[in-house]
Chains A and B, each alone.
Chain A
């Protein structure tokens, strides 16, 4: 295994460090205490890694078997344009997650869990740096009016609310969000990185292996605390209940599903050799994997409540409770975690703004649906701007004032508002004012996807 290590040009490296000083102020504290929590682990380094010796032929799509591209300029314009969109979105998500995690990092009850998240944030910074390196290293002028430098500036200027993917525009309300985000949203990241590992653009493919290795720990930084909290919840801890965890799951899973893009799309990426799976296929695998995590957490809960049970007995009891939806040996159906329906609380893709409940039930009117959401989403989230925005759009769609396509696109988007410095706030969160019904809708049910 042969890896190369490179850095951005000095001024942009400095710009990332300046960004880090603003949004990741505990970075130096992490490095100073690295050996306490991660003894023997190599010290973190802000750089771009490339893995050498990977497959040099295109692995899927219409050009399968041909040599991979080493320069975007050699690709077809549409292919290169798709690739550029994916790199920018990937970069945006990496920086975006750091901004979100920082909001509630200090609220962790356990120092170890806090340090895991802090390490994860530093590694996300490196992942963002890796994507910026791809933007700076190549010439994208054939498909973009922006220079690499301008693209880097744009990405470093984004704040929560302006990122390309919806999940990265949702504020965190407590440390439960930090952990749930790792378990659910970083899991989407794992799928995206795995798919991009076969990219027809060689520099992209070579960037993925080290990112994937680091991502594996990010998932553990979510799942391990969740398992520990389930054990404590089973012992009637007052700190974090299964209800808290369920509501966090309800908040994040719909956003995770939407990160795969519209269920009808993804074929272009496959055709261009940029990814091996269409959106729906990857999304279904993800949903199934989250189901496995939820089942594992429930087993952890049952074994903590009923220590006399062995593994097989706990599995059998879980199946019985789920099937009969009642209370068995003191454990009620509502005591456990449940996977929300795939169409619950969606605002992108095929189920966008449908009135589909947590268990897949259909609602006839917006008011009863909002009451349903109120019961299933965290209180703090419902008091935030993201939920307010959703409710306004949902109401507009269902009372006929808004076309669905406009509602989908009315989520916060990017606008350049000036500025030249790499660390300026040149891009702002601007929600486009949707036109009234019948005014130019193209019916495009857009996709919140990095594909």
Chain B
């Protein structure tokens, strides 16, 4: 483990992370989308700012995990934690940033009364499914369906 990860700080999402998350998203996906993150981060801050977490190293955002507890989604009435967005700086991969984000987030979701945590994974995105499996997530018999309208 490098020195970088030992300086890693995991904390709740704040408004001042807007620029850092936008930059990290651009680094990962290659697209600059400030308006998308203004809307999304505004949403998560409004809903439950402690449920979403950020990894910071040397004053820079190097990872984030956004989600919340909801009930009634897809007929699932039990309080369910949903992990909806995850991003880790490629320069910090392999340093347990994702695991530390997940540990913090799952602990909060548990305190908020969630009995189950769920997420959806794009199978074409290599490594994500394995990441969640390592965290103890298991595939469940719910399938994702989609239909293009245009």
Residues on A facing B (Cβ under 8 Å): 1, 38, 40-41, 116, 213, 216-217, 219-224, 227-228, 231, 289, 292-293, 295-296, 299-300, 303, 310-311
Residues of chain B contacted by A216 (CB below 8 angstroms): 12-15, 45, 49
Residue contact A1 to B42, C-beta cutoff 8 Å? no
Residues of chain B contacted by A299 (CB below 8 angstroms): 19
Measured between alpha carbons, how far is A90 from B14 in the docked complex, in Å?
22
Closest 9 CB pairs of A and B: A216-B49, A296-B19, A219-B15, A1-B111, A217-B46, A220-B45, A220-B15, A311-B23, A223-B15
**Residue from the list B16, B26, B34, B41 in contact with A293, Cβ < 8 A:** B16
Cβ contacts B38-79/A at 8 Å (1 or 0 each): 100110011111100000000000000000001000000000
Interface presence of B32 (CB below 8 A): yes
- The number of chain B residues with a CB under 8 A from chain A is 26
Interface presence of B4 (CB below 8 A): no
Interface presence of B139 (CB below 8 A): no
Interface residues of B in 14-30 (CB under 8 A from A): 14-16, 18-19, 23, 26-27
Measured between alpha carbons, how far is A1 from B50 in the docked complex, in Å?
12
What are 23 A-B residue pairs whose CB atoms fall within 8 Å in the complex? A1-B113, A38-B46, A40-B70, A213-B48, A216-B45, A217-B46, A217-B49, A219-B14, A219-B15, A222-B15, A224-B38, A228-B38, A293-B15, A295-B19, A296-B19, A299-B19, A300-B34, A303-B34, A310-B26, A310-B32, A311-B26, A311-B27, A311-B32
Interface residues of B in 105-129 (CB under 8 A from A): 111-113
Residues of chain A contacted by B49 (CB below 8 angstroms): 213, 216-217
B45 to chain A, nearest CB (A): 5
B112 to chain A, nearest CB (A): 5
Residues of chain B contacted by A303 (CB below 8 angstroms): 32, 34
Measured between alpha carbons, how far is A79 from B32 in the docked complex, in Å?
52
Residue contact B45 to A289, C-beta cutoff 8 Å? no
Residue contact B46 to A41, C-beta cutoff 8 Å? yes
B69 to chain A, nearest CB (A): 10
Query: What residue of chain A has the Cβ atom nearest to residue B59's Cβ?
Result: A292
Residues of chain B contacted by A40 (CB below 8 angstroms): 70
Measured between alpha carbons, how far is A296 from B19 in the docked complex, in Å?
6
Residue contact B70 to A300, C-beta cutoff 8 Å? no
Measured between alpha carbons, how far is A296 from B12 in the docked complex, in Å?
19
Measured between alpha carbons, how far is A295 from B16 in the docked complex, in Å?
10
Residues of chain B contacted by A38 (CB below 8 angstroms): 46
Residues of chain B contacted by A310 (CB below 8 angstroms): 26, 32
Residues of chain B contacted by A231 (CB below 8 angstroms): 34
Query: What residue of chain B has the Cβ atom nearest to residue A292's Cβ?
Result: B16
Residues of chain B contacted by A228 (CB below 8 angstroms): 35, 38
Query: What residue of chain A has the Cβ atom nearest to residue B46's Cβ?
Result: A217
Measured between alpha carbons, how far is A295 from B14 in the docked complex, in Å?
16
Measured between alpha carbons, how far is A136 from B15 in the docked complex, in Å?
34
Measured between alpha carbons, how far is A220 from B38 in the docked complex, in Å?
9
Residue contact A217 to B42, C-beta cutoff 8 Å? yes
B43 to chain A, nearest CB (A): 9
Residue contact B26 to A1, C-beta cutoff 8 Å? no
**Residue from the list A213, A220, A289 in contact with B42, Cβ < 8 A:** A220
Query: What residue of chain B has the Cβ atom nearest to residue A227's Cβ?
Result: B38
B80 to chain A, nearest CB (A): 13
Residue contact A227 to B14, C-beta cutoff 8 Å? no
Residue contact B16 to A213, C-beta cutoff 8 Å? no
Residues of chain A contacted by B23 (CB below 8 angstroms): 311
